[in-house]
Amino acid sequence: DAGVIQSPRHEVTEMGQEVTLRCKPISGHNSLFWYRQTMMRGLELLIYFNNNVPIDDSGMPEDRFSAKMPNASFSTLKIQPSEPRDSAVYFCASSSYNEQFFGPGTRLTVL
Amino acid sequence: GESVGLHLPTLSVQEGDNSIINCAYSNSASDYFIWYKQESGKGPQFIIDIRSNMDKRQGQRVTVLLNKTVKHLSLQIAATQPGDSAVYFCAEKSGGSYIPTFGRGTSLIVHP
State yes or no: pLDDT of B1 exceeds 80: no
Q: What is the mean pLDDT of residues A45-62?
A: 93
Contact between chains at A103 and B46 (C-beta distance less than 8 A): no
Contact between chains at B98 and A103 (C-beta distance less than 8 A): no
What is the rounded CA–CA span in Å between residue A14 and residue B8? 30
Contacts of A99 in chain B (CB under 8 A): 34, 46, 49
Confidence of residue B87 (pLDDT cuts 50, 70, 90): very high
Q: Identify which of B102, B101, B105 has the alpha carbon closest to the alpha carbon of residue B88.
A: B105
pLDDT of residue B8: 81
pLDDT of residue B2: 37
Q: Identify which of B61, B100, B106, B101 has the alpha carbon closest to the alpha carbon of residue B79.
A: B61
